[in-house]
Amino acid sequence: TFSSSITSLFINITLAGTNQTPDLNPFLKKEKEGVMICERDDFSLTGPLHLTAIDWANEHHRRSVAASLVQGIYVAERDRQLQRDGPELALSPKWSEYFHFRLIRKLVDDADFSIFGGIYEYKPPQQKQPSSHHTFKSMELSPRYVIAFRGTVTKADSISRDMELDLHIIKNGLHTTTRFEIAIQAVRSIVASVGATNVWPAGHSLGASMALLTGKTIARTGVFPECFAFNPPFLSPPIERIKDKRIKHGIRIAGSVITAGLALAKKATQQHSQNRLALPALPAPPDPFTALSDWFPRLYVNPGDHLCSEYRGYFEHRNKMEELGVGFVERLATQNSLGGLLVDIVGGGKNTEGPVHLIPSSVLTVNRSPSRDFKEAHGIHQWWKEDHSRFETKIYKYNH
CA distance 296 to 398: 10
Q: What is the pLDDT of residue 27?
A: 42
Query: Do 66 and 200 form a contact (C-beta atoms < 8 A)?
Result: yes
Q: What is the pLDDT of residue 21?
A: 45
**Among candidate residues 178, 205, 17, the one with its CA nearest the CA of residue 111:** 178
Query: Do 70 and 150 form a contact (C-beta atoms < 8 A)?
Result: yes
Q: What is the pLDDT of residue 241?
A: 72
Q: What is the pLDDT of residue 24?
A: 44
Cβ count near 61 (within 10 Å): 18
Q: What is the pLDDT of residue 19?
A: 54
Q: What is the pLDDT of residue 31?
A: 56
Query: Do 91 and 37 form a contact (C-beta atoms < 8 A)?
Result: yes
In this structure, the dihedral spanned by the alpha carbons of residues 328, 217, 392 and 52, taken in order and rounded to 10 degrees, is: 170
**Starting at the edge strand that comes first in sequence, how are the strands of the sheet with 145-149 ordered?**
101-108, 115-122, 145-149, 199-204, 228-230, 298-301, 362-367, 391-396
**Among candidate residues 240, 190, 183, the one with its CA nearest the CA of residue 208:** 183
CA distance 148 to 68: 10
CA distance 50 to 68: 13
Q: DSSP per residue over 164-193, as a string?
A: HHHHHHHTT-GGGSHHHHHHHHHHHHHHHH
pLDDT digits (tens), the chain, 400 positions: 444 555 555 555 555 545 544 444 444 555 555 566 788 999 999 999 999 999 999 999 999 999 999 999 999 999 999 999 998 899 999 999 999 999 999 999 999 999 999 999 999 988 766 666 556 667 889 999 999 999 999 888 899 999 999 999 988 899 999 999 999 999 999 999 998 889 999 999 999 999 999 999 999 999 999 999 999 999 877 777 777 777 776 666 666 656 655 656 656 555 655 566 555 655 556 678 888 999 999 999 999 999 999 899 889 877 776 776 665 556 655 666 555 555 555 555 555 567 888 899 999 999 999 999 999 999 999 999 999 999 999 999 988 7
CA distance 288 to 377: 32
Handedness of CA 138, 144, 149, 155 (dihedral sign): positive
